[in-house]
Structure 1
Amino acid sequence: MKHLFLTMLSTFLISGASYAQTTSLFNGKNLDGWKIYGTEKWYVEDGLLVCESGPDKAYGYLGTEQNYKDFVLTLEFKQNSNGNSGVFIRSTVDGTKVSGWQVEVAPPGKHTGGIYESYGRGWLIKPDPKNEKVLKEGQWNKMKIKVHNAKITSWLNGVKMVDFEDEKIGSGEGGIILQIHSGGDVKVSWKNIKIKTL
């Protein structure tokens, strides 16, 4: 009986560890698992994922081929030039029109870590102004996004930026989508993009 209990416990722990496993969304070599939307530039250079304004200087997106509902996403970004970008969750793209919710990645003072609903209600929540100072312009920044049921929580360099709950977000379906903002002269690098499903 004791042996059976230990066997069942071991199986449970192994399956639980597997369920909570963190996986990489970017392999550092190519864009496998992702789809480009629009004409802006997305490429891999020296093991980094780079987005850069193209000739159209329009909105561009790079989305996961797989949808994700509840998860913890961690990544690092560096704003090389006009770092206006973002990370969309539970979102879809039609042409270059995105439907969903963006955790902002922007120049200093422009609400990195806040949540914006494109083609909808606009800004849903902005970070406390004093927390915006944790953004390191031109350096690597660590972002963490937790999405569970109707709640989104974001952190930047270990500081909680927003904690927001919304019924519409709770019913959302879609993938994880990186954005390049329109206007030109935008260049942002990304690395260590990892996800743990909940």
Structure 2
Amino acid sequence: MKTFLKKLALSITCLTTLSMGGVANAQNSDGFTDLIDGVSLSGWNIIGSANWVIGNGIVEGNKPNGFLVSTKTYKNFVIKAEFYAESNTNSGIFIRCQDPNKVSQSTCYEINIWDTRPEQAYATGAIVDVAKVDPVPKAGGRWNTMEIIANGSNFKVMMNGVVTVANGQDSKYSEGPIALQSAGGVIKFRKLQIKPL
């Protein structure tokens, strides 16, 4: 009987995970939770007119202008992301957004993915209006990794293993949803994970 109950509990867990959109929101052994599963937009809302394509383990934005906004809010965390950008891609990972229906650099912290941003100090790898980057790492034409640490008013960003923001400081926003931007060019995410601190 105990064996049957264990199998039943395991089956229910598997079905629950599938009904939540595959592996999205399933915690890994390292404490990270997958926020995208590449087969659905479970856990995300679409705002704006961007075109989001899901499949083959990838979420792709290929038309401006809009966001995927998480249905959950997050406070202190580590984010690990893998993304592909083109040389003209204008995108970013927005954190601690204050209004899930009006995402912008003035209502969230924007970790930028935009190699050709006119003001290069806040281009790829920077936190717009909070922490500058120099030199600007180039993301265009390849897959990249990004790690974002937000702990209270302290921020750190690494791209492809190189620190782009060592000690960002700001206390405007303490928590909120995460948003993925599609504002020009093609942006693809094949991994987005979060672990609370």
TM-score class, shorter:
0.7 to 0.9
Q: Distance in 2 between matches of 1:191 and 1:153?
A: 22
Tell me the residue number matched to 1:41.
Answer: 51
Q: Distance in 2 between matches of 1:41 and 1:49?
A: 10
Residue 82 of structure 1 and its aligned partner are, at CA, apart by: 2.0
- How many positions carry a matched residue from both structures? 164
Q: Distance in 2 between matches of 1:93 and 1:177?
A: 11
Tell me the residue number matched to 1:23.
Answer: 33
Aligned counterpart for 1:165 among listed residues 163, 169, 176: 169
Q: 1:20 to 1:148 in 2, by over 3 A?
A: farther
| Aligned partner of residue 95 in structure 2, secondary structure | strand
Letter in 1 for 2:39: K
Give aligned-pair identity as a percent: 31
Q: Distance in 1 between matches of 2:194 and 2:100?
A: 24
Q: Deviations over 1:11-47 (max 9, x none)?
A: xxxxxx9997111000121100001011111121322
Aligned counterpart for 2:81 among listed residues 75, 85, 97: 75
Q: 1:93 to 1:51 in 2, by over 3 A?
A: farther
Aligned counterpart for 1:106 among listed residues 100, 114, 138: 114
Normalised TM-score (structure 1): 0.75
Letter in 2 for 1:141: N
Q: Deviations over 1:70-105 (max 9, x none)?
A: 000000111146211000110044644432110001
Aligned CA RMSD, in angstroms, stands at: 2.3
Q: 1:18 to 1:158 in 2, by over 3 A?
A: closer
Q: Deviations over 1:149-183 (max 9, x none)?
A: 111110000011012011224xx3311111122xx
Tell me the residue number matched to 1:145.
Answer: 148
- Long gaps (5+) in structure 1: 1-16, 117-122
Q: Distance in 2 between matches of 1:79 and 1:149?
A: 29
| Aligned partner of residue 49 in structure 2, secondary structure | coil
- Long gaps (5+) in structure 2: 1-26
Q: Distance in 2 between matches of 1:142 and 1:62?
A: 19
Letter in 1 for 2:156: T
